[in-house]
Amino acid sequence: MTLAGPARARRGLEMTDLGILQNGGMLIRDGRIEAVGSSREIEREAGGQAEIIEAEGCVIVPGFVDAHTHLVFGGNRVDEFEQRARGATYQEIAAAGGGIRSTVRKTRAASEEELFNLAKERAGWFLRNGTTTIEAKSGYGLTLEDELKILRVIRRVGRETPLTTVGTFLGAHAIPPEFAEKRGVYLSLLIDEMLPRVREEHLAEFADVFCERGYFDLEESRSVLQAAARSGLGLRMHADQLTNNGGALLAAEIGTVTADHLEQTDAAGIAAMVTARVQPVLLPASVYALGLDKYPEARAMISAGLAVVLASDFNPGSSPTPSLPFVLSLAITQMKMTPAEAITATTINAAASLRRADQIGSLETGKLAHFTIFACADYREIAYWVGAPLVRSVFVHGREVFAAP
C-alpha cells in the first residue's frame, strides 16, 4: 500500500485510495525510498547490487504514525481498571484523588532515568505493532522541572530507539493539587515560566490543553493556546471528550492543527472545524477502555470533508494500548469507517497532522523508508484478525528493527 498522492492530509473520497500496487517493490538507499514500481522493474533497476527482502504473499504498509500518545509516566492504573469493572466511572475515580493526579504523583517520584527505561520498553511495544512515529505529550509532571524531565525523556526515546518521537507540551493536563485553590497562579506559571523554557530548549513542537469540565475551561484553554501560539508552538487540543463544552468550536476559533477525542462533538462543532480546516484526531481505544459506548461521529466528519486521523491515546488511565491495528479494528467495527479510510487515518493523515507529510505516511520516492510487512495477503486482514500477531517485520530508515520470531 503506497498511499501515493499529494503530500497533505486526504479528505472525503481521497481517504479510500490506498495506492495499492500488486507485486510491487521498492528500492531503498541510505534509508530513503529511491523508487517504487513493479517488483520486476525494481530488481532490474537495482542491477543485482541490492540486498533483496522478499515479502511474497504479504502486505507492506507505511510505518503507522500515532499522532496522540502520553508515552511517559510512572507506574500504572491497573487498580482503576478493576474499579471501573466494579462500576466506578472515570470522573468518580478522579474526584476521589485517582485519575491523572495519581499518575502525576508517581511520575514526579520517578527519576529521569527510570522514566526513560519505562518509555524505552514502551517504544518497543509501539514498534512491534507497526508504529514507527509517535507524537508524545508531557502532562504528568505539572511542575516546571517535572514537565521538562518528561519532555527530555521523549526526545531521548527518539534519539536512542528506532521510534521517532514528536514532543507536545501538555502542562495544561490538570491543575496540580497544590494549586487547586489558586488556578490563576498555575496558569501564569505555565504561560510565563514553563512555555518559554520549553521553547528555549526546543523540547516540543506542539502544545496541547485538556479542555474539559473539572480540568481547563474554555477561557483558560483559550489563554493557554494563544500563549503557546505566540511562542511558536503548533496547537493541538483535547476537546469534547466527556462533555460537549464547546471544545471543537474553540479549536476552530483559534485554528488549532488538531482537535482530539470529539466523542461529544455535535454538527455545529463539525461544521466549524470544516471551515477552520482543523484535523480531528479520533481515539476510539479510550472510549473502549473506559467501558463507554459513545464513539465520535467519524462518518459525519468524513462526509463533511474533515481529514480524519486515528490514534491510540496511549496512557495509563483511559487507553492503555499502543496498538494501532487494534484501533483500526475499533474504527471499523464501532465507528463504521472503511478499512481503507482507517489506514489513511493512521498513515498520511496522521503524518500531516504532525507536519511531516513530506517525509513519512506514504511509500513514495524521496520519503523515509519506514514500513511494516504484515503476514497477510489482503490489507483488510490487518484489522480483521484483531489481536493476532500479523506484524512480520518493521523497518526504519530501511533497516529491520523488529522481526517476529
Footprint of ligand NIG (CB under 6 A)? 99-100, 103, 210, 238, 241, 286, 313, 315-319
> What is the SS3 assignment for 72?
coil
- CB closer to ligand NIG, 64 vs 73: 73
CA distances from 219 to 179, 232, 250 (A): 18, 20, 9
Partner that binds at residue 210, options ligand NIG, Fe ion, none, CB closer than 5 to 8 Å by kind:
ligand NIG
Min dist. Cβ of residue 206 to ligand NIG (A): 14
CA distances from 401 to 45, 123, 162, 364, 367 (A): 25, 12, 7, 20, 18
- CB closer to ligand NIG, 247 vs 325: 247
- CB closer to ligand NIG, 158 vs 316: 316
CA distances from 224 to 68, 149, 184, 221 (A): 19, 20, 11, 5
Partner that binds at residue 103, options Fe ion, ligand NIG, none, CB closer than 5 to 8 Å by kind:
ligand NIG
- CB closer to ligand NIG, 64 vs 210: 210
Position 312, amino acid: S
- The neighbour count for residue 117, using CB atoms within 10 Å, is 13
The residues, any chain, with a CB within 8 Å of residue 297's CB and separated by 6 or more, are 262, 265, 270
- The neighbour count for residue 79, using CB atoms within 10 Å, is 11
Min dist. Cβ of residue 320 to ligand NIG (A): 10
Partner that binds at residue 100, options Fe ion, ligand NIG, none, CB closer than 5 to 8 Å by kind:
ligand NIG
Check binding of 212 to Fe ion (CB under 5 A): no
In angstroms, the CA 170 to CA 195 distance is: 10
Partner that binds at residue 286, options Fe ion, ligand NIG, none, CB closer than 5 to 8 Å by kind:
ligand NIG
- CB closer to ligand NIG, 283 vs 375: 283
Stretch that binds Fe ion, among 95-103, 312-320, 329-337, 370-378 (CB under 5 A): 312-320
Min dist. Cβ of residue 339 to ligand NIG (A): 25
Residue with the closest Cβ to ligand NIG? 317
**Summary count for the chain: helices (H), strands (E):** 17, 15
- CB closer to Fe ion, 123 vs 282: 282
Min dist. Cβ of residue 68 to ligand NIG (A): 7
Q: Find out whether 152 and 105 touch, Cβ atoms under 8 Å.
A: no
- CB closer to ligand NIG, 100 vs 249: 100
Stretch that binds Fe ion, among 95-103, 147-155, 289-297, 311-319 (CB under 5 A): 311-319
Min dist. Cβ of residue 256 to ligand NIG (A): 15
In angstroms, the CA 155 to CA 135 distance is: 11
**218 CB-contact burial (10 Å; exposed 0-12 / middle 13-18 / buried 19+):** middle
Min dist. Cβ of residue 49 to ligand NIG (A): 48
In angstroms, the CA 370 to CA 81 distance is: 34
Q: What distance lies between CA 188 and its chain's CA centroid? A: 28
Stretch that binds Fe ion, among 103-111, 227-235, 306-314, 359-367 (CB under 5 A): 306-314
Min dist. Cβ of residue 93 to ligand NIG (A): 9
Q: Which residues of 316-336 are buried (b: 16+ CB within 10 A; e: fewer)?
A: bbbbbbbbbbbbbbbbbeebe
- The neighbour count for residue 144, using CB atoms within 10 Å, is 15
Min dist. Cβ of residue 66 to ligand NIG (A): 13
Min dist. Cβ of residue 378 to ligand NIG (A): 32
- CB closer to ligand NIG, 80 vs 205: 80
Check binding of 313 to Fe ion (CB under 5 A): yes
* DSSP notation for 107-149: HHHS-HHHHHHHHHHHHHHHHHTTEEEEEEE--S--SHHHHHH
- By CB under 5 A, how many residues form the interface with Fe ion? 1
- The neighbour count for residue 95, using CB atoms within 10 Å, is 11
Check binding of 297 to Fe ion (CB under 5 A): no
- CB closer to Fe ion, 237 vs 301: 237
Min dist. Cβ of residue 241 to Fe ion (A): 8
- CB closer to ligand NIG, 256 vs 393: 256
Q: Find out whether 199 and 234 touch, Cβ atoms under 8 Å.
A: no
**Residues in contact with Fe ion by the rule CB under 5 A:** 313
